[in-house]
Structure 1
Amino acid sequence: MAASVKLHLQFGGGAELLFDKIKKREIELPALKKYFPDCQHDKWNIRDLLVWIKDNLLRERPELFLQGDSVRPGILVLINDADWELYGELDYELQDNDTIMFISTLHGG
């Protein structure tokens, strides 16, 4: 069974308001099969992480952060300071000590 994964999560640009106004978190994800017993893959990916975030960290208005199984348009996702598009977006397999940053580019007027 795959081991747990330690991550650095960061929320900015207003996204932190959905997470108790906490901008930085150190988390440890459990072994994937403990959290998703029916999962067909062995390593945590961004898609799995978003479900975990929704279940464990997101405090209000999930529609402002998530759309379907991804982040909503207007949320920039960086993996180790690089655009997640360079890593395969939702399918990126998380590595120990990765820094995943979510930055909202949506602003009210």
Structure 2
Amino acid sequence: MSAKELQINLEFSAGAELLFGNIKRRKLSLDGTVKWTVASLLKWMHANILTERPELFLQGDTVRPGILVLINDTDWELLGELEYELQPNDNVLFISTLHGG
């Protein structure tokens, strides 16, 4: 790991992983020379690892209603949502509450 990398962990649960190649956990090494927020992470995810049905994960520039986001086991709403600046070794968990019939 270079000093210019930001290491974070992504997790997907309750069906959210199906939109990301059925991979439940990913370790990312992002460019550490720029400020990474959840907003920029979501854009990166859309461009790089979202493999299916983006409309089930994103709505505009944010996650769609029905996707819970936890950062280090804390609801992202308490941390500033899209504006939260990612820190080294953050764990970002996406949980789908959307269930088809």
Q: CA deviation at 1:31?
A: 3.7
Q: CA deviation at 1:30?
A: 1.6
**Could you list the runs of 5+ residues in structure 2 that have no partner in the other structure?**
none
Structure 2 counterparts to residues 21-100 of structure 1, below 5 A: 21-31=22-32, 42-100=34-92
TM-score (ref. length: structure 1): 0.86
TM-score (ref. length: structure 2): 0.93
**Could you list the runs of 5+ residues in structure 1 that have no partner in the other structure?**
33-41
Runs of 4+ with deviation above 4 angstroms: none
Report the Cα distance in structure 1 between the residues aligned to 2:65 and 2:47, rounded to whole angstroms: 20
Report the Cα distance in structure 1 between the residues aligned to 2:26 and 2:64, rounded to whole angstroms: 21
Report the Cα distance in structure 2 between the residues aligned to 1:89 and 1:67, rounded to whole angstroms: 14
Identity among equivalent pairs (%): 63
Q: Alignment partner of 1:102: what SS?
A: strand
Q: CA deviation at 1:3?
A: 3.0
Q: Hey, what does 1:12 align to over in structure 2?
A: 13
